[in-house]
Amino acid sequence: MKVRPRFVVLAGVLLVLALGVATSRVAAEHPDAALGGGDLAESIIQVGAAVAAAAAGLRMALDRGLAACGMLLALTGLAILLAQLPAQDSGSASLFTAALVGAQLAPFLAGSAALACPVVPVRRPDWAIIAVSLAVAVVIRGLLSAAVFDPQAAGCFTCPANLVEVRSDPGLYAALGQWGLVLTIVAGVGLAARAGWRLARAPRILRLIYAPIVVGGMAAALLAVAAAVHTLPLPTPEIDPALRTLWLAMCCCVAVMAGDVAAGRLRAGWLAGKVSQAVLAALPDPESLRRALADSIDDPDLALVFLRDDGTVVDADGVQVSGADHELAVIRVTRADSAVAEIRYRADLAGASHQLMAAVRAGGLAIEHVAAGARLRAELADLARSRQRIVELGDAERQRLERDLHDGAQQRLIALQMLLQMASSAASPPLNASYTTARKAVGAALEELRDLAHGIYPAALADGGLRTGLVTLAETSPVPLVIDGPGPGRTPAAVEAAAYRLVADAVRIAGQAASPETITVTIGGSADRLCVRLSAAGLDQAAGEQIVAGARDRIVALDGSVTLATTHAKTTIETAIPCGS
């Protein structure tokens, strides 16, 4: 059974609150022996900081990118309660021993949480500093010191038993205490310096988000340094007003750290509301949506891409894009177990991913809307490419058929015609007349075959290009056909064929008119676009529409355009076809 995150946080808060109430009662009964004092205000500061740290830390720990920082902050809350407890008056050997070992942990845990905060990626040196700092608190000032500490020998006859005592050695205990204070100074300064250096190198958005956590942890570590400096010259460590003030100030720093987590949640909710308002106002265009998501994490280069059913990734225009670079962090948006979109952003901003996730949740409807549009554009582009391939394959097949007829049947008829001519010259007069008749029939069949092959795919068009093909068409045209303009040179075969078919259809339809007039074809354009302008005075609106209807599908399949303009004087048809592959 899956446990909801809020229940985990609530259970942790209630547990820490219950422990805080118990430790506050003991501290109130023995205020002089309690590090933070025992009056109501002092207890509120300590228990409030402990509960806030536990709640904030557990909430952060549920986010994979913030887990380390969150666990350290949550443990800080428990360590505060250990330090609040008057150990000698706890009445329990277990609590007494736990206080001996862990009473020094809180500032080191807070400083470690600041160092583990993902303002920049946490490196091995950072983990090493954290490990050394916690070792100073737990091992040197905790376990080793407790192992040689005998409460009765030290004069505390009401203290519970020390469960980790190995042997009593007051001299070694005092030496470990002095060295522990020195190492506390070194470790505290190291934590604060490293955390401050990392914060200075962080992106601006992460500094804005996590500055209170990092600065609060740095302050807690430096307050521990100040307490060590204050205690170091004392012959016997004791709780005095200065030490108590430093401890309560450290608790306030932890409360500030926890407060920043709550503020971050509120900030993320505000951003989510802002995105929701934009969605409700009007479904945004892809760029506005991308910009809104980018603003939530302060990454102007954030990319919003969309996944298709075949696994390919396209941008908002439906153009296929490559996979995510290894230097980018990726958030995948899903709906009903199906991937809808990917959000790619700078990996060094992963620490602010919770803000981006809040914006994504708020803009889910807009993301789905834009994703559907991107996939539709990609499918339309696929359809256009498919139509273009069909046109190109059709033209290639026509050209192959024309070549087969020219090189096969046409050559055989020519050979047969020559054989009949040779036989006719050597035959008797009666047979000569029969051979002549047969030769004329073969000649007529050959002429019809040439016309058929020319109609399938003109050889002049394939060999010489559009202008040559149109000049050849003009030689057999039933209406006067004038070819003007140099043209852009050779273009793809499918483009030339589409323009040729437009002119050929115009010639055919114009030849059916009662009084056909001259058709003028102007060829222009550039290296990447072929433009053809056809003008005819003898064509009416209906004839022009018939010509355009026959050519439009082929031209549009090549991503071209064709327009018709008819006046009383003439009909003009213009087409422009891209020449790119």
pLDDT score recorded for residue 219: 95
Which pLDDT does position 260 carry in this prediction? 86
Look up the pTM and report it.
0.59
- Helix axis angle, 170-201 to 124-135, nearest 10°: 150
Q: Is 100 exposed, middle or buried (0-12, 13-18, 19+ CB in 10 A)?
A: buried
Return the structure tokens found at 327: 């230097």
pLDDT at 558: 82
pLDDT of residue 488: 78
Locus of tokens 């696994």: 311
* Residue whose structure tokens are 């400083």: 111
Q: Give the pLDDT score at 44.
A: 93
Query: What is the structure's pLDDT at 435?
Result: 65
- Minimal CA–CA distance to 450: which of 468, 472, 434? 472
- Say how far residue 109 (Cα) sits from the centre of its chain: 34
- Residue 47 class from Cβ within 10 Å (0-12 exposed, 13-18 middle, 19+ buried)? buried
pLDDT score for 462: 73
How much is the pLDDT for 130?
93
Across the 581 residues of the chain, what is the mean pLDDT of every consecutive 10-residue run? 67 88 87 86 92 90 85 92 83 84 91 90 92 92 88 80 87 88 93 94 86 92 93 83 92 92 77 64 75 87 88 87 84 84 88 82 82 86 72 64 63 72 70 71 70 61 81 84 83 85 86 75 86 85 84 82 84 86 51
Q: What is the pLDDT of residues 145-178, one digit of tens each?
A: 888 888 887 778 778 888 888 888 888 888 888 9
CA atoms of 441 and 306, how far apart (whole Å): 66
